[in-house]
A and B are shown apart, each in its own frame.
Chain A
Amino acid sequence: MRGRFSKFTGWFLVLILALVPLAACSSSGETNSSGSEGGSGGEETLDIFSWWTGAGEEDGLNALIDLFKEKYPDIEVENAAVAGGAGTNAKAVLASRMQGDDPPATFQVHGGSELNDGWVAAGKMETLNDLYEAEGWEDKFPEDLIELVSKDGDIYSVPVNIHRGNVLWYNTKVFEENGVEPPATFEEFFTAADKLQEAGVTPLALGDKEPWTATHLFETALLGTLGADDYKKLFTGELSFSDPKVKEAVENFKKMLGYINEDHSSRNWQDASQLVADGEAAMNVMGDWAKGYFVNDLNLKVKEDFGWVATPGTDGMFMVITDTFGLPKGVSNPEDVKKFLSVLGSVEGQDAFNPLKGSIPARVDADLSNYDEYGKETIEDFKSASLAPSLAHGSAAPEGFVTKVNQAINIFVTQQEVDQFISSLEDASGDLK
């Protein structure tokens, strides 16, 4: 009797064990992208994927989501943000989801190469031409910007903001105390830096625990030395990295590294910005998300506590970083996603998001009164400046190239061997296609 019973349970267990993997497979096949269904009568959740978890950026995203919920209360929204500066971790999560055919409803992607050579080239994105047409957006976004989110004449995402990468932030008090004027050229920068160093202040703060910040500094040196046109040619293969102008830029970069804080490799960009805020360091090259950090987190006052100029040699140029959202292929609720994208691309949406995030709106017709002094000035600058795509943030070149540049930079910051650095840039440029 007992033996029979144990046989029966045995077979039963075997059956269950054998079925478990099958069940797992079939369920993952069915519920493509629905992720966490709320049980609300089969309604699909709209999961918005980004790396906006820091102060400022998170507030901006929440404001946008709130606006969307107000307009479409029936659509379930999930904020699927993954922490990590510049998308360090989020991009990995995104890659596995996309390749596993489980794309989020919509995700944050930088306009330019990251979108076009990445997801669009891999055939993972839907075109949004009809959405642009329906919303009449063709003349609401600057042409250069639409170019950044298009490939072969088709538009693939909606820009929500513009960040400027080439900003030199400085502590006004430190500058005043030491009689230093905001530098406009490399020469002025080095003179000012010498003066500050003599006074015992760290001239330039850097936090390259994540190497992209050093790449960020390098790209501004490249832009400042080469100018916007030649800078762009580097990534289309028209200008070689062995060009003497690149060498000059690397020399400038190297010289700048001579003025940084000693503990740079254990700090991240916020830690470095904090050095400027505390007056331990005088200047910091960072995108204008640093303004969000200064104002929202450290309660500093624009122009009073900190000031800004374009990084040396880049006056009239605009290192553009634009966050955009697109529609991945294989999403089960594309109409809901388009509704979200239309809110995101509206004046209302952009003005809800950008003042909190610290960026400026991507649309040309946004309401200026929503922005602080920095925002107003930058919106004006943006209209007339020549645009250059950011390398560190994946707009200028494919991720693979950026990863290799980050590696080369990581070595260069310590070893400072110019020729070796340039030759590794040249090697990596094989990945530019």
Chain B
Amino acid sequence: MKSETTVEQSVRTATTRKRRSLTKDHWLAIGFLVPSILLVGVFVYGFIGWTGYVSLSNWNSLVPDFSFVGLKNYIYLFGDFRFQADLRNTLFFTILFILAVIVVGQFLAILLDQKIQQESLFRNIFFFPMALSFVVTGVVWQWLLNPSTGVNLFLEKIGLDSKWYTDTTIFPAIGWGKIEFGIPIAMIAVVIAAVWQMTGFSVAMYLAGLRGVPEEVREAARMDGANEFQVYWKIIMPILRPITVSVIIIMAHISLKIFDLIYAMTGPGANFVTDVPGVYMYETTFRGNYYANGAAIAIVMLLAVAIFIVPYLWSSRKGEA
């Protein structure tokens, strides 16, 4: 059973079906594919190659300089305090973000699945943040969490003098390289905003999955004496596992290359506690004019995403064949 048909998969199955049934129009299919292959080849893979080439060059001013310097830019990066902090932040942001999206998404989907009235209204409410851009989310949450307005003002009123949004504490702070390793507290504010934005997606996915579980299965479990909690925990959750995999893949690639939310909301943050490679890349390239260093960061980000995406594409390809 394959409940997670992604867009690429459905497109691929569609094209293969077409090719088989319309063999006479084979050339037409090629005619359609060639332009897009060319465009993708140049504008995606060509540019990736170009970025890789720049990342090995010495182009670190407004004047292009393509002399080959090998891995110098990468070596500089991995010894850099800010980049080490970025890698730490990305790791913990990704873990917290994905965990929260899955847990909250599943919880809300199960609540929605209780055959409540006005279900579509709630569905829309949960799904609505998805329609916003991360930049908008960032700005809104920045207002909400600003120390002199919003949530913090309220917390201050009731006596909790909270500076968590600006906190530079790393928890539990284990020295590692030049940086402290652990969860940056200020990052939690960003995670909340990101979860607020993306949970709607996982709610929709899980709700679709829950609706796909036949009523008979639940009935059978109940007949065997399972209570409602056990029905979900032992029967339905395992069935939903493929959905969880999809959610993880999609959220991972979002969180590994996140830029707009953080740029709009906190920027690099004091001591780079909310900095991520995307923000660093932008500032290095377009503020400092260190084009080669910026390209190196971009390539590292690409590899990080590839670690998640490639095995997934591979397995889905196998599943199809």
Contacts and interface: CB of A to CB of B under 8 A. Distances in A.
Interface of A: 3, 6-7, 10-11, 13-14, 17-18, 21, 88, 91-92, 95-96, 98-99, 118-119, 121-124, 208-211, 262-267, 271, 398-400, 402-404, 407, 410-411, 413-415
B269 interface: yes
Contacts of A400: 60-61, 288-290
A96 B148 CA distance: 36
**Max chain A Cβ within 10 angstroms of own Cβ: one of B28, B166, B288:** B288
Interface in B63-105: 63, 81-82
A399 B283 CA distance: 11
Contact of B166 (A119, A210, A266): A266
Contacts of B287: 88, 91-92, 399, 403
Contacts of B272: 410-411
Interface string B266-299: 1111111000000000111111111000000000
Interface string B162-184: 01011010000000000000000
A95 B64 CA distance: 12
B286 A266 contact: no
Main secondary structure of the interface of A (DSSP, over half): helix
Interface stretch (B30-38, B113-121, B214-222, B309-317): B30-38
7 contacts: A92-B285, A119-B62, A271-B148, A398-B289, A403-B287, A403-B288, A403-B290
B94 to A, nearest CB: 23
A6 B60 CA distance: 52
Contacts of B32: 10, 13-14, 17
B28 A262 contact: no
B271 A411 contact: yes
A17 B166 contact: no
A413 B270 contact: yes
Interface of B: 24-25, 28, 31-32, 34-36, 39, 60-63, 81-82, 145-148, 163, 165-166, 168, 266-272, 282-290
Contacts of A95: 62, 286, 289
Contacts of A210: 267
B284 A10 contact: no
B42 to A, nearest CB: 8
B62, B146, B267, B269 — which one has the most chain A CB atoms within 10 A of its CB? B62
A11 B168 contact: no
Given A10-B28, A14-B31, A400-B61, A92 B286 contact: yes
List of 6 A-B pairs having minimum Cβ-Cβ separation, nearest first: A92-B286, A403-B288, A414-B271, A265-B270, A122-B62, A17-B35
A88 B289 CA distance: 13
B28 A7 contact: yes
A92 B290 CA distance: 12
Given A14-B35, A209-B267, A411 B62 contact: no
A426 to B, nearest CB: 15
Contacts of A265: 166, 168, 269-270
A262 B288 CA distance: 29
Given A92-B285, A266-B145, A400-B61, 11 more contacts: A17-B36, A92-B286, A99-B62, A121-B61, A122-B62, A263-B166, A399-B288, A400-B290, A403-B290, A404-B288, A413-B270
A205 to B, nearest CB: 12
B48 to A, nearest CB: 18
A355 to B, nearest CB: 31
Point out which of B36, B163, B271, B285 has the most chain A C-beta atoms below 10 A from its C-beta: B271
Contact of B147 (A92, A119, A263): A263
Nearest to A266: B166
B168 to A, nearest CB: 5
B283 A122 contact: no
A211 B268 contact: yes
Given A265-B166, A400-B289, A18 B35 contact: yes
